[in-house]
Structure 1
């Protein structure tokens, strides 16, 4: 089978796979333990800090970080946020709908390279959207923890979430 035949075969046999939850799948108080987890490496931290122009030397210079009272270079807090947020997407917002923002973001303690982060979320608000037929607004409280189970970050976030109808 040549490349064109392979593409034709794949297109003809593709099956739509709906991913993500819809508005009706969320109930007030419902909890999600996001199943993956992610180990943050020193390379992740250096690359993220460099690409986002976060040149605080504490994130890339262990000697400077120790002089500031850290045990070494901590992971850039914005990277911690992005990792924990990303862990929640499959369960919470992968079904599509605009992101509406984050509230009450708190960094609870430093994260260091080599730590594995996990996330859990709880539905704290769910209502149909007044001005967007076919959508609801869902808000979650998400907590990111290290491998010892200690909370390192928490925040609330909201999305417009498609309804099943």
Structure 2
């Protein structure tokens, strides 16, 4: 076991502030298929008891073919896909703006995500950090945008000025 530990190499993950430039696009990895079980569990553990998200007859009465996925689950799935490229190195999460849900997501839909760098600035209080903003869009398996938002994070810098 000790030989494995000694041979282990710490791999740098994620991007630093200098890796970003306005307009750079990140097509995020893998995609994620949402299952009925995940949708029901998410609504339950979050105590989100709107029958739209767990009662198929109620959902159909409102014109849906099935119970839609809770929009917060859609947000979490799409946001999560972006972490490896955008904020895996850490830094304070500063918020989300302009969150829009464009169409429902249903169990069985596969989501993918893409982010574009829309803002960069130096931190006024900490020269080891920069502040980056990205517009993230989530798409279903038909290529239709189902969610979009802009998020901002503090991001480590490679070097200090």
What TM-score does the superposition give when structure 1 sets the normalisation length?
0.94
Structure 2 residue 125 is the aligned partner of structure 1 residue 158: no
Which residues of 2 match residues 22-101 of structure 1 at below 5 A?
22-101=16-95
Shift of 1:67: 1.3
Residue 97 of structure 2 corresponds to: 103
Residue by residue over 1:17-50, the C-alpha shift from the partner in whole angstroms, topping out at 9 and shown as x without a partner, is 1100000000011111112100000011011111
Structure 1: tracts of 5 or more residues without a match = 1-5
Alpha-carbon deviation of 1:89?
Answer: 0.7
Structure 2 residue runs without a partner (length 5+): none
How big is the alpha-carbon RMSD for the aligned residues of Structure 1 and Structure 2?
0.9
Secondary structure of the 1:32 match is: strand
Structure 1 segments of 4+ aligned residues over 6 angstroms from their partners: none
In structure 1, which of residues 7, 16, 19 is the aligned counterpart of residue 13 of structure 2?
Answer: 19
Task: Report the CA distance between 1:132 and its aligned residue.
Answer: 1.8
The count of corresponding residues between Structure 1 and Structure 2 is 159
* C-alpha distance in 2 between matches for 1:148 and 1:35: 17
Q: CA deviation at 1:12?
A: 1.8
Q: CA deviation at 1:69?
A: 2.1
